[in-house]
Structure 1
Amino acid sequence: MKTKSPIFAVTSWIRRQPPKMKVFLAVLSGIAALLFLRMVVEDHNNLFVASEVVHVLGTCVLTYKLTKEKTCAGLSLKSQELTAMFLAVRLYCSVVMEYDIHTLLDTATLVSTLWVIYMIRFQLRSTYMEDKDNFKIQYVVIPCAVLSLFIHPTTNHLLFNRICWAFCVYLEAISVLPQLRLMQNIQIIEPFTAHYVFAMGVARFLTAAHWVIQLFDTRGRLLIALGYGLWPCLVMLSEIVQTFILADFCYYYVKSILGGQLVVRLPAGVV
């Protein structure tokens, strides 16, 4: 009789648990990861830089897929367009408000994202799953724009710049939704697309970890530094939402990789 691997036994046990237990285990795992990062990483600002580097690497995976495999099957053009939109706005804010290492990283990510959009729209249009990429992006862009008009930073910068800053924060939090909808429609995700989405999940987690750890390290003073009103709370909420949006997919991705599968299979109803 073949002995089951410990990994298979653990994943099978998790799969049998009720939804509330799965949520508890996910939260517990997140807390453990935060504590580990807090102990290992000395300068917690590096977590934010690391998240942007992971985003760049994820986009490089897409570049390889489009160049070598000559197909954009499984990729959401709408997610790429939302990503380019928030990156362009964030790059503008970075130039006029900060101009540091984040400016360089955002520039690299924006250029590569625009190249991906070009490839999907023109060079590889025949392989684009347009009928599956059916998320209505106006349902997220318009609410983000309206919300940013009313809830934005209270710094000394120009009002327009502060509204732009808020808009890119809100839009980034939900920019991956069209990609998740497409994957929900097809349910079988090939390796390079899966690697890219997983990289986005890691990047989102590192960003959220940066803010949460900073919040504890400053004993809450970080919220005061961000301004007053609802803006500090929405910044934190946006970062956490980004992570939880991708949590389900990341679980199935890790499960597939550990199980030696080349593709990620999503059960109905996931993401």
Structure 2
Amino acid sequence: MRPPRRLIHVVSTWVRRQPPKMKAFLAVVIGMAALVLLRAIVHDHDNIFVAAEAVHSIGISVLIYKLMKERTCAGLSLKCQELTAIFLAVRLYCSFVMEFDIHTLLDSATLATTLWVIYTIRFKLRSTYVEDKDSFAIYYLAVPCGILALLIHPSTSHHIANRILWALSVYLEAVSVLPQLRIVEPFTAHYVFALGVARFLSCAHWVLQVIESRGHLLSAMGYGLWPSMVLISEIVQTFILADFCYYYVKSVFGGQIVLRLPSGVV
């Protein structure tokens, strides 16, 4: 096992020494290569989205296991879960009044699980919650997302309030994981990594759908900046988690588990 680990160490050291622009370029190249691979091996791109939902469910299952088995919520961000519950609740409302489908049911299950996690942290395991580490002010995320939703939202025939709420759920989802990245510990590391994989698959699904439809999918979502903002939001959330996933894989292959990201990453 030493040669592979040694190779990974050499590669990771080389990557770490590169300037930010080179790291960003490498991330784009790897992302594009992964998209090409997915397009070649997955014929029905809807299966990619299903896979994203499945990986997300696995991540939540890890959280539930941690809370029930370990009887501790140390390392888990309550604010991240609250942001997740907010965007899921808003998206569910929009789904019910705008486009009810199978994803509405999946979001309902995810919201129910998230609310259970929040209840457990707040009441059952409150004594193990490390509040001083979970210090990210969520209004720094919620307020800009609200302003952005007021300015850029869908141009469909639905009521203006529903369109603004829809945009708000998209923008909040893109940044909802940020509070969790400040307090990553062994069990939550697995959870965040699952979120990263799920987000990449979801982003890949969107990009491939746009490519296959030759841009018609974006046109069907309306005009103006909104279609582009949806795609950008998917990409932003993917890149937010990409750096963590890199350190997670590096740590696992090195026989360790990520406890905290290097300073400056978040």
Kindly indicate whether residue 141 of structure 2 is the aligned counterpart of residue 146 of structure 1: no
Contact 2:72 2:128 in 1 (8 A): yes
Percent of matched pairs sharing the same residue: 69
- Moved segments of 4+, more than 6 Å: none
Describe the superposition over 1:188-218 as per-residue Cα deviations: whole angstroms up to 9, x where unpaired: x21x200100111111111111111112112
Instruction: Tell me the residue number matched to 2:51.
Output: 50
Relative to the length of structure 2, the TM-score reads 0.93
In structure 2, the CA distance between the partners of 1:265 and 1:133, relative to structure 1 (3 Å rule), is: closer
In structure 2, the CA distance between the partners of 1:12 and 1:150, relative to structure 1 (3 Å rule), is: closer
Contact 1:83 1:172 in 2 (8 A): yes
Describe the superposition over 1:126-170 as per-residue Cα deviations: whole angstroms up to 9, x where unpaired: 111111111111121122222222211111222222122111001
How many residue pairs align between the two structures? 264
| Structure 2 stretches lacking a partner, 5+ long | none
Contact 2:182 2:260 in 1 (8 A): no
| Structure 1 stretches lacking a partner, 5+ long | 184-188
Relative to the length of structure 1, the TM-score reads 0.92
Tell which deviates more after alignment, 14-23 or 148-157: 14-23
CA shift at 1:108, angstroms? 1.1
Contact 2:83 2:172 in 1 (8 A): yes
Kindly indicate whether residue 112 of structure 2 is the aligned counterpart of residue 111 of structure 1: yes
Contact 1:60 1:112 in 2 (8 A): no
Q: Quick one: which of 253, 260, 263 aligns to 1:258?
A: 253
Q: What is the 5 A alignment of 1:230-249?
A: 230-249=225-244
Instruction: Tell me the residue number matched to 1:168.
Output: 169
Instruction: Tell me the residue number matched to 2:87.
Output: 86
Structure-1 separation of matches of 2:105 and 2:26: 37
Structure-2 separation of matches of 1:20 and 1:61: 35
In structure 2, the CA distance between the partners of 1:147 and 1:20, relative to structure 1 (3 Å rule), is: closer
Structure-1 separation of matches of 2:169 and 2:59: 20
Instruction: Tell me the residue number matched to 1:205.
Output: 200
Instruction: Tell me the residue number matched to 1:186.
Output: none
Q: What is the 5 A alignment of 1:12-27?
A: 12-27=13-28
* Aligned Cα root-mean-square deviation (Å): 1.6
CA shift at 1:244, angstroms? 0.7
Contact 2:77 2:179 in 1 (8 A): yes
Instruction: Tell me the residue number matched to 1:101.
Output: 102
